[in-house]
Chains A and B, each alone.
Chain A
Amino acid sequence: MELNRNKKQKINHFLLAALITGGTALLCAPLANTQNYHVVSFILLFVVSILATFMGTGPVLLASTLSAIFWNFFFIPPHYTFHIEKTEDILIFGLFFIIALVNGVLTTRVRKQEKLVRDREKRTNALFQLTKELSKASGINEVLKVAINEIRNHFHIDSLFILQDGENTLRNSGRLQKEKQLTPEEYNAAKWAFKNARKAGALSPHPMGIDFTIYPLQGNRVSPGVVIVKLENEFTTDQQSYWDTFLVQISNALEREFLGEMAQRVRFLDESDRLYKTLFNSISHELRIPVATIMGASDSMLNSSNSSVMQSALSNEIFTASLRLNRLIENLLNISRLESGHISARLDWYDMNDLVNKVADDLKNELKSFTLKIDVPEEMPLVKIDFGLMEQVLYNLLINSTQYAPPASDILLSISYSSQTMLIEVSDNGPGFSEKEISLVFKKFFRVNENKTGGLGLGLSIAKGFVEAHSGTISIENRDEGGAKFSIRIPTEEPDIKNLQETGNE
């Protein structure tokens, strides 16, 4: 299309050049029989110069030749012959011809140079635009969209990308755009181009009997795939280098996305593999220990006539083991409720003393070897919480402290209230946490000292989830005097008890 139009325009220019030259000669006809025929040569020279400013070399050459011929034939005496009588006219004619030629050719060349510079600038701009758009695009699909658009804008052709599947194979169904289905030949050519990293198809050394031209996309580490275009003509050297630069930019952008995707996939696989392994290992371990205790203890109760002291010791073991199993199940249930987003806090007014006493009572066995110091101020207002969830939070935090604090040490649970926020702090004299651990303690299945303490590493992440269900925050820090301190902040309001109702039904 583009090229056809160019051809037609060229022919038009030749015609126009001839017409204008002829016309000028005709207009100058009245001067033919005067002594002023030299003036005509200037007029013709002027016209040729004008033509040179917008026509190519060919038409200008034609115009110069024609004007020389016209001048000689019609204006230099004797008229209507190519014969020239005067020597000075021969000289002028020769000079005229040379000046017309030089003038015409020089002007067009200057114009060509200028056009070249303009084109180059346009291309540089286009490349800059492409680079900018590509760097903004995130994800393979966006990069492809930008690439197809920019190719259309600057080369006036449609393009089709086929990308590899991440395992260095092009797949016909893979990431092909939907609009076009490739024929088997085209697909083979694409595969060949990808494998050999060379141009294939029409207008290439490997035509392979298809209408399209296929260019491989090459990155530094990964070859993203191929691009398929339909070209009318071969690219000019200039266009070719422009096109190559375009493809390099696109390939780099695609490679960037590819590598990013691959890295993410690897990370994801690693993570889920690790999670699965940890979960499996710790669940089977955590289940086996109490089950082993229950089996062993009950077996020895069945098979021998133990003393009643022994009997009660064994039953105690069974009881403790079953509590541990029960806690494990509770934690698994809670974490799965949190994961599935089924937790929503049902807020109501509660007395924090109630909550604290309840948890302390539930944990009285675990806390036996510690001193639990509870600090709830006398003027502590009622708070709006979900009792069940907060009970679990405190329970988990205290259990955590009992696992890390040295025996016979103090565990401090303090609660306070100021400006619409309740602050709960649990401090212990344990080893505290390292910087790295601080960032990890609330993660699922994370345990400090993997083997020393039991548990799945779920307690703290459940606590965090439940606190967040109250729109609150939980944080951890090491105390200056040693040990860890958990701080929970929960937004609450002050209860409306000003007009506290005494009942009248007396």
Chain B
Amino acid sequence: MNEEDTILIIDDEKQIRRLLEITLSASGYKVIQSINGRDGLIDAATHRPSLIILDLGLPDTDGQKILKKLREWYQKPVIILSVRDSEEDIIKALDNGANDYLTKPFRTGELLARIRAALRSENEMADSAVITFGSLTIDCTSHVVRKNNEMLKLTATEFSLLLLLAKNRGRVLTHQYILKEVWGYKYIEQTQYLRVFVAQLRKKIEDNPSKPSLLITESGIGYRFGE
């Protein structure tokens, strides 16, 4: 965490804002609040927060539109916090550039973890040549992956998949996005490829493949690389 990361909350529900302020302040973040989309855009421009927590059901503008407007110039993480829980809404928000999506009601512990992950990957974005997760190290230049110092034999596809997820650590990547990045446009419907490779990859990198801690499934949405 930088000395004091600023987090902007754009949400019209007073009680949610108050809860977030208490929780986030207690964790050492500085909190700014906006009660609608228009104010939110202004606050984002003036305060340049390190992260934005955005509600989708805003009184003036739809949150998805605010997200798109923000993404025209704002590169830092945006986490959606909404009661909308349909897969369509979630995928759309992720496609519009959200880093993560949490549905209300949510666990504050979970939210804090997602914020930490988003901020950290933000800070690590500076292409480090070697990425480390506990006992797993990925050398991006030599394409060597080690677990407990043992070299893992990964196929080219497994490696691209791992690298894509690891570089976006903490961020939910949709099935379509992963398929497009790893296999190419033609394959974005071929979810079955992704499933097979994820299962293979888990067997190689996870301590317990049936309780994955690195390659985490996001129900019906995609995958997220945890720690």
Contact = CB atoms under 8 A, between A and B. Distances in A.
B75 interface: no
B224 to A, nearest CB: 13
A185 interface: no
Contacts of B155: 502
Interface residues of B, number: 25
A234 B155 CA distance: 103
B15 interface: no
A501 B187 contact: yes
Interface in B179-193: 182-184, 187, 190-193
B60 interface: no
Contacts of A501: 157, 183, 187, 190, 193
A215 to B, nearest CB: 64
A503 B219 contact: no
Interface string B83-115: 000010000000000000000010000000000
Nearest to A325: B105
Interface string B163-197: 00000000000010000001110010011110110
B217 A354 contact: yes
B156 A502 contact: yes
A391 B87 CA distance: 13
B162 to A, nearest CB: 12
Contacts of B182: 503
Nearest to A362: B219
A301 B199 CA distance: 46
Of B182, B192, B212, B217, most A-chain CB atoms within 10 Å: B192
A503 B195 contact: no
Interface in A467-506: 495-497, 500-503, 505-506
B92 to A, nearest CB: 14
B87 A505 contact: no
A382 B196 contact: yes
Contacts of B87: 346, 388
A382 B192 contact: yes
A337 to B, nearest CB: 10
Given A357-B210, A388-B219, A500 B156 contact: no
A388 to B, nearest CB: 5
A322 interface: yes
Nearest to B187: A501
Interface in A311-351: 322, 326, 346, 348-351
Interface in B204-227: 210-212, 217, 219-220
Contacts of B156: 502-503, 506
Contact of B199 (A326, A346, A353): A353
Interface residues of A, number: 27
B31 interface: no
A469 to B, nearest CB: 14
A503 B157 contact: yes
Nearest to A391: B219
B23 interface: no
B70 to A, nearest CB: 28
Contact of B192 (A386, A497, A506): A497
A422 to B, nearest CB: 15
A505 B184 contact: yes
Contacts of A382: 192, 195-196
Nearest to B104: A326
Contacts of A502: 155-157
A349 B199 CA distance: 13
Given A350-B195, A351-B199, A353-B210, A503 B184 contact: yes
A348 B191 contact: yes
A242 interface: no
B121 interface: no
A187 interface: no
Given A326-B105, A351-B198, A502-B157, A387 B192 contact: no
A358 interface: yes
A505 B175 CA distance: 19
B210 A500 contact: no
B34 interface: no
Of A326, A354, A506, most B-chain CB atoms within 10 Å: A354
Contact of A349 (B187, B192, B210): B192
Contacts of B196: 382, 497, 500
Contacts of B217: 354, 357-358
Interface in B96-148: 105
Nearest to B220: A387
A495 B187 CA distance: 14
B220 A503 contact: no
Contacts of A386: 220
A16 B195 CA distance: 104
Contacts of A322: 105
A505 B160 contact: yes
A137 B200 CA distance: 66
A495 B192 CA distance: 7
A503 B192 contact: no
Contacts of B193: 497, 500-501
A381 to B, nearest CB: 9
Nearest to B189: A348
Contacts of B210: 353, 357, 374
A387 B218 CA distance: 10
Given A351-B195, A501-B183, 4 more contacts: A348-B175, A357-B211, A500-B193, A506-B160
Interface of B: 87, 105, 155-157, 160, 175, 182-184, 187, 190-193, 195-196, 198-199, 210-212, 217, 219-220
List of 3 A-B pairs having minimum Cβ-Cβ separation, nearest first: A349-B192, A495-B192, A387-B220
25 contacts: A346-B220, A348-B191, A349-B195, A350-B195, A351-B198, A353-B199, A354-B195, A354-B217, A358-B219, A374-B210, A382-B192, A387-B220, A500-B196, A501-B157, A501-B187, A501-B190, A502-B155, A502-B156, A502-B157, A503-B156, A503-B157, A503-B160, A503-B184, A505-B160, A506-B156
